[in-house]
Structure 1
Amino acid sequence: MAEYESFSGVITRIDDFWVGNGRQAGCYKLMSVENSSGNRVDFVVAPATYFVDHTMVSVGDTVTGFYDTSMAAPAIYPPQFRAVVMARDVPGQSVKVDYFNDQLLSGDGTLKLNLAPSTGVLIQNGQAFTGTPANRDLIVVYGPTTRSIPAQTTPSQIIVICER
C-alpha cells in the first residue's frame, strides 16, 4: 500500500531528466524545490505525474510535491523522489494525497471528507468517476476545515488514483 509524504517550496530549477533510451527525451523533468529553511528536494516528474488542475508550473512557483515513501529512492543528496502528484500553491486551497477508508478518513487520521452534490469526483484523465471514492488513494482539493480532530471538510474536488 502506498504511503504519501509531501514537500513544499519554491521551484528553483527545471531540467530534462534522462531515462534510458532517446525516445523518452523531454518526457521526464527534474524539478528542484527549496523550502524556506533552505532544504531541497529534487522531484522526478514523469508523464504520469498528476498536476492538480492540470496547471503548468515554472521556476519561481511555490508547489507541493507528493511522493510514495514505499517506492525505492536513491540514497543521494539532495533527496530525489518520483513525484506522484504536484500542486501549485493557490491561496485558500489545500491538497491532500492519501488513502481514505470506508468512512472517508485519511490514512494518517487527520482529515475526514464530507461529500456534497457539488463535490466533483473524477479520475486522473478528467472524466467522471462513477464508483465510491471510499477505500481508495485520493487526491483531495479542499478549502476551509473544521477545527475538530480530525479536521473535516467538504472538498471541491476529488481525483481518484486508479492506477500507479
Structure 2
Amino acid sequence: MNKKLKHIIPITMAAIIAASIPTVSSFAEKIGEEIRIANEHSVLEMERQDERENYILLAGQIKDIRQGHEGSIFALVSDSDEEYSGIQFGVSSDTLLLDQRGEKVAITSLQIGDTVKVYYRKDQPMALSMPPMTFAPIFIVEKEGSIGFTELAFFNENLINLNNTLQLNIAEETQIFDQQGNPKTKEDLVNQELLVFYDITTRSIPAQTTPQKVILLAQEEQTLKETMENIDTIIADDFIMVEGNKMIPLRKVAEYLGYEVSWMGDTQQVELRLQASSFLMTIGEKTYAYNRSLGQFEQAPLLHNHKTYVSQSFIDRLMQ
C-alpha cells in the first residue's frame, strides 16, 4: 500500500483494526514461547547431529611433502597461500588413500599441487606446531579428468544425511565395504557414518543418487581398537627386551599417535608435543617430565641402532 492510500483510511476503520489486534505484550509472550521451544529443539538436534558426525573436512592443495619413516610422508594441506596455514598430515599405509571415484592411490604418486580432501576425526590428537600436525585417516585425491564426488556424513534409517541434502539409493552394482575392505550389505549402512562416492544426482530435495561405492566407517570404540591393533603391529616388528621389560620404538609409536618428535643430540633428550601435552625424557634416565609434573619409566630409555626405545607401558601415558 502506498502513502496516499494510507492517509485516506477512515479513522473508524483504523480503530476497528487496532481493536482486533492482540496487545503487544500478549503477542510477544505467545511468539516468545514458540521461538523458545523451536530454539530448544534446534539446539538439541544440533547436539545430536554433532554427536553422530565425527569427522572434519579440510579441502585444499598439497603445499609441501616431506618423507617420513617406512614409506610414509607428511603432506602439508592448505586452502590458503598464507604462511603457516593448513595442517601437516601424516599419510601412511594406515591411511584410506583414494581418488574421487573410490579407487586406490599410491603414496608415491602424491605431488605438490594436488587438489585433495582430508577427513580427520574431531577428537584425534594434533600437535601444536606451526602448522599443526596430525595423521590422515582418510585422504581423497581429486584427479583431473575424472568425474566424481565424495560425501562423508551420518546417514539415517532412510539413508538420508543429517543435512537432508543427499539420499542414497543402493543398487546391486554399488560396492559396499568397511575400512578394512570387508564386504558389507545395504542393511549395515543404516544409522552409520559413511564415505560415499557418487556422480549423478537428481534435482530433488534431498538430491538422490545411486552411489558407485560406499565405505562404512568405524565407530569410536572400533577406532580405538584399530589404533591399538596398529600399534601392536608396529611393536611386533620392532622391539627389544631389557631385563624382562619390553622396549618399543618411541618415534614410530608417538608419530603414529600424532605427536611431534624432536631429538636433541647434544643433551641426549627427546621431546614429544601434542596439543597441550609435552614430554621430555633423557636417554639413560628413568624420570621424565610431563607438562609440569614428573613421571617414571619402568626401564630407562635407551638408544639402539640410532633409535630411542622406551618401556611398552608408556603407550598408556601417550594415549591419555
Structure 2 distance, partners of 1:149, 1:75, is 41
- Note the residue ranges of structure 1 that are not aligned, 5 or more in a row: 18-24
Number of equivalences: 156
Structure 2 distance, partners of 1:15, 1:139, is 28
1:105 CA displacement: 1.9
Structure 2 distance, partners of 1:89, 1:133, is 25
Structure with bigger strand share is 1
User: Helix, strand or coil: the match of 1:13?
Assistant: strand
Structure with bigger helix share is 2
Higher RCO (CA-CA < 8 Å; seq separation 6+): 1
Specify whether residues 107 and 84 from structure 1 end up closer, same or farther in structure 2 by C-alpha distance, changes over 3 A only. farther
What TM-score does the superposition give when structure 2 sets the normalisation length? Answer: 0.44
Q: Which of 31, 34, 37 is the equivalent residue of 2:75?
A: 31
Structure 2 distance, partners of 1:67, 1:45, is 12
RMSD across aligned C-alpha pairs, in angstroms? Answer: 2.3
- Note the residue ranges of structure 2 that are not aligned, 5 or more in a row: 1-51, 224-320
User: Helix, strand or coil: the match of 2:136?
Assistant: strand
What TM-score does the superposition give when structure 1 sets the normalisation length? Answer: 0.79
**Cα shift readout 1:52-106 (whole Å, capped 9, x = no counterpart):** 2221241132211111113232344324343121111143211122222222122
**Cα shift readout 1:97-149 (whole Å, capped 9, x = no counterpart):** 22222221224443221111111112233332145211222211111223333
Specify whether residues 115 and 65 from structure 1 end up closer, same or farther in structure 2 by C-alpha distance, changes over 3 A only. same
**1:41 lines up with 2:87 in the alignment:** yes
1:10 CA displacement: 2.2
Alignment-mate amino acid for residue 94 of structure 1: F
**Superposed structure 1 runs of 4+ greater than 6 Å apart:** none
Specify whether residues 72 and 127 from structure 1 end up closer, same or farther in structure 2 by C-alpha distance, changes over 3 A only. closer
**1:139 lines up with 2:195 in the alignment:** yes
Aligned counterpart, 1:58? 110
Specify whether residues 151 and 81 from structure 1 end up closer, same or farther in structure 2 by C-alpha distance, changes over 3 A only. farther
Alignment-mate amino acid for residue 77 of structure 2: V
